[in-house]
């Protein structure tokens, strides 16, 4: 009896109705409207996190290099100087190893300005590499 009922009901339906299709498309559109802006926000926060992590890695390397070599000061990249991402010349005028030896990846994405105590003051993107430290 159940088999006969199912075959009668199934015989009249050969696909989805227009209303059903519109409802599915509407639900997908609502989900997309909620999800897409959140994905953009997460991508932006990831870039900010990477920038902050690189700043911290460079500062930690500078601190380690100065501590290992008993250096209390370095030549600052101050007003009028350009930012650097080339760590091969640090520290100038000492027998210490260059800062690049303390970085896991010395090809940094950003450019930095630091004071005479080795504290990073500013960080620039590659497009602003010629920007003066202040």
What's the pLDDT tens digit per position in 24-83?
999 999 999 999 888 877 877 888 888 899 999 999 999 998 888 888 888 887 666 778
- pTM comes to 0.64
Distance CA 95, CA 76 (A): 18
User: Does residue 90 register a pLDDT over 90?
Assistant: no
Domain assignment of residue 90, yes or no: yes
The boundaries of the domain holding residue 23 are 18-128
Domain assignment of residue 44, yes or no: yes
Domain assignment of residue 8, yes or no: no
Domain count, the chain: 1
Distance CA 127, CA 118 (A): 24
pLDDT at 10: 59
Q: pLDDT averaged over the chain? A: 81
Distance CA 62, CA 131 (A): 21
Domain assignment of residue 24, yes or no: yes
Domain assignment of residue 9, yes or no: no
Domain assignment of residue 3, yes or no: no
Domain assignment of residue 78, yes or no: yes
């Amino acid at each position: 009896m159940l088999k006969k009922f199912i075959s009668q009901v199934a015989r009249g339906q050969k696909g989805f109705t227009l209303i059903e299709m519109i409802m599915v498309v509407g639900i997908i559109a609502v989900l997309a409207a909620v999800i897409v802006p959140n994905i953009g926000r997460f991508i932006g926060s990831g870039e900010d996190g990477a920038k902050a992590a690189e700043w911290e890695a460079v500062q930690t390397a500078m601190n380690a290099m100065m501590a290992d070599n008993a250096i209390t000061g370095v030549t600052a990249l101050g007003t009028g100087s350009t930012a650097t991402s080339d760590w091969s010349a640090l520290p100038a005028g000492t027998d210490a190893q260059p800062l690049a030896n303390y970085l896991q990846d010395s090809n940094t994405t950003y450019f930095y300005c630091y004071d005479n105590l080795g504290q990073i003051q500013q960080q620039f993107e590659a497009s602003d590499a010629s920007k003066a430290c202040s």
